[in-house]
Amino acid sequence: MSSSLIAFVNPSSGNSEKARDALASTGLFDIRETGPSDLEARIREAVKAGATRIVVAGGDGSIGTGASIVAGTEVELAVMPAGTLNHFARDLGIPEDMDAAAAVAAGTTVMKTDVAYVGDRLFLNTSSIGAYVTFARAREKLEARLPYKLASLLAFVQTFIRMRKLAVELDVEGKRQIYRTPIVFVGVDERELQFPTLGNRIRDGQRGLHVLVVRHRGRRKLLALGFSAIFKGVEEASRSIELDSYMTDTCTITVRKYSARVAVDGEIETMPTPLEYRIERDLLRVVVSSIDYSTAKTLSPA
């Protein structure tokens, strides 16, 4: 076994046991069960000791931690989609089957992909302020007693009913816009604008930050959308949302507070304002399937 190939498995992730067994079956990785609180320190130790490839088995949060350490270096990141949603793994074309994902992690096809930053915080998928933060906090509370999909639906409805509008100044490459909006969303590379795939990365899309701003609606319309979600479903209600869309390399979001709660790859953090976003192209070396990568413009040869 090569000590330069280290696999970190989050034991609290949903598919941690399957991920560990699949990685062990390759006979190639030094497998270390590591919780989220210790993950950053353990990965830094492994990189300092000479690891050439890091495998992270967990959700987007754990994978983002690994990416933040190895981005801009020659160390490769391999992904085992052991979390709930696994957005980044899906964008890379990593299979959900753990044995197949382990085979990819042990493979030889390495590409470069884009990452983004808000301040010094790297993210791989999306960041937002406003309603999504409220939604994520409500869903987390509901998940303690309800299945994930039902918790998400009820959290969505609660968010619409309680939705506040933010006074936001958006500076996109020197062009300033003023909004009163319930949410600003920033994605890494171009995102879908139509349901049911709103927010998903477009495989052959433009590279850069994709900034989406929901135009403000009156309280009555928001309440109507909330009830529509109850009786017609989330997808039907969400069709009525109006968006402004920008592709850019940098943007600044200013709110009337010294700090803001920001969703970063699904995790909520409090950050000082203004929020400075930027894209960094080809900064992360990722291990991908030799079959699937060729159609993705967001991936470049390593």
- The stretch 257-274 carries a mean pLDDT of 92
pLDDT tens for each residue of 97-117: 999 999 999 999 999 999 999
Contact 154, 146 (CB under 8 A): yes
Q: Are residues 167 and 136 in the same domain?
A: yes
Q: Are residues 142 and 70 in the same domain?
A: no
Q: Which residue would you say has higher pLDDT here, 197 or 118?
A: 118
pLDDT for res 148: 73
Q: Are residues 89 and 174 in the same domain?
A: no
Q: Is residue 69 a part of any domain in this protein?
A: yes
Q: Are residues 276 and 127 in the same domain?
A: yes
pLDDT for res 237: 47
Q: Are residues 133 and 237 in the same domain?
A: yes
Q: Are residues 74 and 176 in the same domain?
A: no
Q: Report the C-alpha gap between 161 and 264 in whole angstroms.
A: 23
Residue 25: CATH number of its domain = 3.40.50.10330
Q: Is residue 289 a part of any domain in this protein?
A: no
Q: Are residues 46 and 167 in the same domain?
A: no
- The stretch 180-200 carries a mean pLDDT of 79
pLDDT tens for each residue of 126-178: 999 987 777 777 777 877 788 877 877 787 777 766 667 788 999 997 889 99
Q: Are residues 23 and 135 in the same domain?
A: no
Contact 97, 89 (CB under 8 A): no
Q: Are residues 170 and 130 in the same domain?
A: yes
pLDDT tens for each residue of 3-36: 468 999 999 888 899 999 999 999 999 999 999 9
Q: Is residue 136 a part of any domain in this protein?
A: yes
Omega prior to 274 cis, within 30 of 0: yes
- The stretch 72-94 carries a mean pLDDT of 93
Q: Are residues 130 and 265 in the same domain?
A: yes
Residue 280 pairs in a beta bridge with 115
Residues 6+ apart with CB under 8 A from 206: 189, 190, 247
Q: Is residue 239 a part of any domain in this protein?
A: yes
Residue 170 pairs in a beta bridge with 177, 253
Residue 195: CATH number of its domain = 2.60.200.40
**Overall domain count for the chain:** 2
Q: Is residue 59 a part of any domain in this protein?
A: yes
Half-sphere exposure of 224 (CA within 13 A, CB side): 8
Contact 67, 284 (CB under 8 A): yes
Structural domain that includes position 37: 5-107
